[in-house]
């Protein structure tokens, strides 16, 4: 996949996002970090104090477990929605014409739920990989090979 000059590349997962801009050309990208954001999101066991409860039926005394709330996942989903909102605001400001998003499948799916038309119209590509821990030169190479 080519990365057009001045394109924005968002590399994100449920806790980290990295906004990059291609200062090179489509054949020789040079991604420069514009913005970094990281959210502390402890594991679910660190965020909860009680075990999942049980529910009873008034008919026949049937008991069943109640699915525990995954607070960690809720925060990751909120973070993905916030990233989509940031993309919308930057699109409204005409900050970019071309956008590439790189995120793990679950995060990418959550972000898609929140894409504004202005973001969708500028979206050049999506890559469903977690590259938040990779160096910038590897990110460039992986995008080009996608």
Q: Of 13, 6, 23, nearest to 102 (Cα)?
A: 13
Q: Give this prediction's pTM.
A: 0.79
Burial of 100 (0-12, 13-18, 19+ CB in 10 A): buried
The reported pLDDT for the residue numbered 48 is 55
The reported pLDDT for the residue numbered 76 is 83
For 51-107, write each residue's pLDDT tens digit: 554 444 555 555 555 566 667 678 888 999 999 999 999 999 999 999 999 999 999
The reported pLDDT for the residue numbered 75 is 85
């Amino acid at each position: 996949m080519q990365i057009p000059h001045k394109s924005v590349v968002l590399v994100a997962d449920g806790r980290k996002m990295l906004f990059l801009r291609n200062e090179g050309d489509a054949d020789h990208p040079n991604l420069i970090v514009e913005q970094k954001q990281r959210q502390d999101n402890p594991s679910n066991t660190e965020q909860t104090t009680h075990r999942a409860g049980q529910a009873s039926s008034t008919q026949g005394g049937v008991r069943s477990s109640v699915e525990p709330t995954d607070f960690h996942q809720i925060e990751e989903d909120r973070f993905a929605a916030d990233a989509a909102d940031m993309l919308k605001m930057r699109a409204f400001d005409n900050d970019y014409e071309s956008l590439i998003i790189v995120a793990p499948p679950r995060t990418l799916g959550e972000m898609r739920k929140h894409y504004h038309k202005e973001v969708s119209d500028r979206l050049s590509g999506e890559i469903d990989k977690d590259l938040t821990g990779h160096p910038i030169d590897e990110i460039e190479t992986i995008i080009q090979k996608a």
